[in-house]
Structure 1
Amino acid sequence: MFNIAPMTGNVIKNLLTKKSTRQYPFVVREPFEISRGELYNDIDNCIFCSTCARKCPAQCITVDKKTGIWTCDPFACVFCGTCVDTCPTNCLHHKRTWRAVTGEREMITMQGTPPQPKKKAAAKEKTEE
């Protein structure tokens, strides 16, 4: 036979005390201070050197220097922070918040202006033509 007496104390205690969980979409907790959320590129400072793409262990970043397009696949990113640490211009950052949940694969694509070649290199290219 089932004895309910040992559980009665726990049931009453759980009914009368504060809840240990929160109702997530309605009650959201602030992220931790050192959490790594969505990857963000300050595209105006980016020199499109491709260091982030070469150092990324997940190979989720692609950089096109000619067109000035920087792309990241957030589904492949493991949020390790290697790209942020190796960026020479410190234009990559992790936000503290995460992206909204989605059922479709959405790439992070940013369009910038690639740096112009230096005068000596441009002059050398003209003389070679």
Structure 2
Amino acid sequence: MTKIVGWNLVKGPATLMYPQRERIFTPITRGRIENAIERCIFCGLCGRRCPTFAIAVAKENKEWQIDRLRCCVCNLCVEICPTKCLSTNQQYPAPVSARELAIHRENQPPSPAGKDEAPRQGNRGDA
């Protein structure tokens, strides 16, 4: 036992001294799924591919949501996304005290008038 005590005194603590030393994540760390909503086409492939049914896509509302407590960060949704708008972030999600707080929703912002729509032509009643 003396040998172990001496080893621990010389070696120092086995744990990371957070927050004095910031944690360095490895390149393969899977923290949480992120969506670049402006590139999303709301095809729903990510929701159909998810083995835990954590992702829900509403094409008519242009809404994408993920239940972070259900997500197992398997990256299957990232692999199948045709526009590559999904990615894995290395930061873990923040802890929550209620299940409703773990559901993350994103809506696509409305496009400015004139970008996606063709100008309307027709009778306006002007003389």
Is 1:110 aligned with 2:119?
Answer: no
More helix, by proportion: 1
Deviations 1:2-23 (A, max 9, x none): xxxxx22221221122322224
Q: In the alignment, what sits opposite 2:39?
A: 45
Amino acid at match of 1:109: R
Distance 1:113 1:14, change over 3 A: closer
Distance 1:13 1:34, change over 3 A: closer
In 1, the alpha carbon distance for the partners of 2:35 and 2:22 equals 26
Rg bigger for which structure? Answer: 1
Aligned length: 112
* Conserved? CA contact 1:61–1:70, under 8 Å: yes
2:11 counterpart (13, 17, 20): 17
How far residue 53 of structure 1 moved from its aligned partner, in angstroms, is: 0.5
Give runs of aligned pairs for residues 1-129 of structure 1, distance below 5 A.
Answer: 7-24=1-18, 27-105=21-99, 106-112=102-108
Structure 2: state its 5+ residue gaps: 112-117, 119-127
How far residue 31 of structure 1 moved from its aligned partner, in angstroms, is: 1.1
Structure 1: state its 5+ residue gaps: 1-6, 120-129
- Give me the TM-score of the superposition, normalised by structure 2: 0.77
* Identical-residue share of aligned pairs (%): 35
In 2, the alpha carbon distance for the partners of 1:56 and 1:28 equals 32
How far residue 100 of structure 1 moved from its aligned partner, in angstroms, is: 1.7
Q: Secondary structure at the match of 2:106?
A: strand
* Conserved? CA contact 1:61–1:72, under 8 Å: yes
CA RMSD of aligned residues (A): 2.4
Q: Which moved more, 1:78-87 or 1:15-24?
A: 15-24
How far residue 26 of structure 1 moved from its aligned partner, in angstroms, is: 5.1
* Conserved? CA contact 1:66–1:114, under 8 Å: no
